[in-house]
A and B are shown apart, each in its own frame.
Chain A
């Protein structure tokens, strides 16, 4: 029993070390700084431009939040690709010490640490984005205008982010090239899935199992017609609307299944 407990404790500490090391690497590669700058810029667009041009801000805090947070989807995809796109594949491609340097650290803990670091980095960027938006709402409309809907939007965007990061992490585990895995992760969420979604809508099949179908829910909390994804989808939007609870299940499915698969494949790949 003590042996099991020691191993568990040791692995938890190793996971923590791996997470910390990955965060340091993201920082030293200036990726965190880039993503934070992008988050601040995106969150300021709908406040700064109307203010500078004096064209007036949105009438209600809800409308403002809906406009501003419309970029959340994009931010999640870009940050996810930045932080998880090459997190496993680059180690294998460069044959780094992580793959070749034998230490008492269990490799499973390293891979779990890597996943956590990707999630934590993307979450930090997303949180900054929501914080800046919240500050703008507080400044323009008052603190009371930061509603429960705002909190729900934030929590849902975290869920969406977990699903997206797991998908990118999975690609990073199976693909050999770092650039290939990053690009595939990015374009699958940015183009491939939204296009598939639109095609399915066109033939009147609800794309309920595609993660990007639920991307629009992030802003739907502020009371707008439910929309999803990117691209010219208006023609078919009326046919289907993503359901919140199905969305939760789909996000959970993507996050957990793809994380486990990615982890299993990364472990197997190391042993080849």
Chain B
């Protein structure tokens, strides 16, 4: 009898404990969900980020949001504050003020939790030449609290993704620069991150290496990973990203779809070829014509930037002929990302 009652009591205790455990798990899950819901599907959110190094202000209140699944380019000239933003975002630096969130989790308050969603490649990290990818990835696998079997599986998978499958047990000292970069991206991919942050991923690579890394990023895009990619190379961003944030001098200048930048600027650029190279006076005359915002002349070719209206283009042509310019070709084109970038920077009085 006593035994039965004891057993019963134990069962009650056990079920209570179990109940508590379930509650706890649900509570934790709810917390995570709440975090995510509260951030409206933003993978990355940066608010008023300021970073000062003594007298120099590297970031002057940067704010932006990156939606889940987006591939966003973070574009700006060298020294614009790209790497600083990324280092802040990955808690490698502490901000002067402002906040940053990964999946709704404050990076500066709970970096361990926030960074558990992130894989990152920042600058060009030095590798331990005397180790093999297997040893390096095994260590990081443990850091991400993976079990031995999972680590083995993930290493194979990651090395296949970055095309280094046959190099698992070779020392890194034998690797080319491109292979090292791919391995670094592999490291970032190891924890199966929801968000991948890449800082200048093709910097210092030869054309072959650039092609390989670009291909790799395109493949990752298909896996619906949110990618935040910084670069000072327009081509890089335009070929891999859907959206672009323009950063200049520590400030966000513009943020939109790449197509929209290009689309908005259709018919803004006119390329004119003259019979002879333009003299100084002719250049002056050309700049003063109606509807022309800006002229760039190189030899006998001029690039004219005007407003959006198509009628202006006809007016510009007729004015040019009226003023005696020997026009031999006249074509209106779509302003590309580069033109937009240059015009933005010029507006701010900077140099690329």
Contact = CB atoms under 8 A, between A and B. Distances in A.
Interface of A: 7, 10, 14, 17, 20-21, 24-25, 28-29, 94-97, 99-106, 270-272
Contacts of B92: 99-100, 102, 270-271
Nearest to A16: B142
Interface residues of B, number: 31
Interface in B65-95: 90-94
Contacts of B140: 101, 103
A102 B90 contact: yes
Interface in B86-114: 90-94, 111-113
Contacts of A102: 90-92, 115, 118, 120, 122
A122 to B, nearest CB: 20
A17 B151 CA distance: 15
Interface in B130-152: 130-131, 135-136, 139-140, 142-144
Contacts of B94: 271
Contacts of B39: none
A232 to B, nearest CB: 41
A95 to B, nearest CB: 5
Contacts of B124: 95
Nearest to A29: B130
A214 B90 CA distance: 46
B39 to A, nearest CB: 19
Given A10-B112, A28-B135, A97-B184, A104 B143 contact: yes
A265 to B, nearest CB: 16
B122 A103 contact: no
A100 B128 contact: no
A17 B9 CA distance: 42
A195 B43 CA distance: 60
Given A97-B127, A100-B122, A102-B120, 10 more contacts: A17-B143, A25-B128, A28-B131, A96-B126, A97-B125, A97-B184, A100-B92, A101-B187, A103-B115, A105-B143
Contacts of A94: 126
Contact of B139 (A7, A17, A104, A270): A17
A178 to B, nearest CB: 11
Nearest to A30: B130
Contacts of A96: 125-128
Given A25-B131, A270-B92, A271-B94, A103 B143 contact: yes
B116 interface: yes
A97 B116 CA distance: 16
Contact of A271 (B90, B93, B128, B188): B93
Given A17-B139, A270-B92, A95 B123 contact: yes
A97 B180 CA distance: 12
Contacts of B111: 104
Contacts of A99: 92, 125
Contacts of B116: 104
Contacts of B143: 14, 17, 103-105
A103 B144 CA distance: 8
A24 B139 CA distance: 10
Contacts of A21: 139
A206 B200 CA distance: 57
A59 to B, nearest CB: 47
5 contacts: A7-B112, A24-B139, A97-B136, A101-B187, A105-B143
Contacts of A100: 92, 122-123, 125
Contacts of B120: 101-102
Nearest to A21: B139
Report the 7 A-B pairs with minimum CB-CB distance, sorted nearest first. A94-B126, A102-B90, A96-B126, A28-B130, A104-B112, A100-B122, A100-B125
Nearest to A94: B126
A21 B138 CA distance: 10
Contacts of A97: 125-127, 136, 184, 187
A97 B128 CA distance: 9
A270 B111 CA distance: 15
Q: Which of B92, B113, B123, B143 has the most CB of A within 10 A?
A: B143
Nearest to A28: B130
B130 A25 contact: yes
B122 A101 contact: yes
Nearest to B188: A101
A266 to B, nearest CB: 14
A10 B115 CA distance: 15
A96 B121 CA distance: 11
A101 B112 CA distance: 13
Contacts of B115: 102-104
A91 B126 CA distance: 8
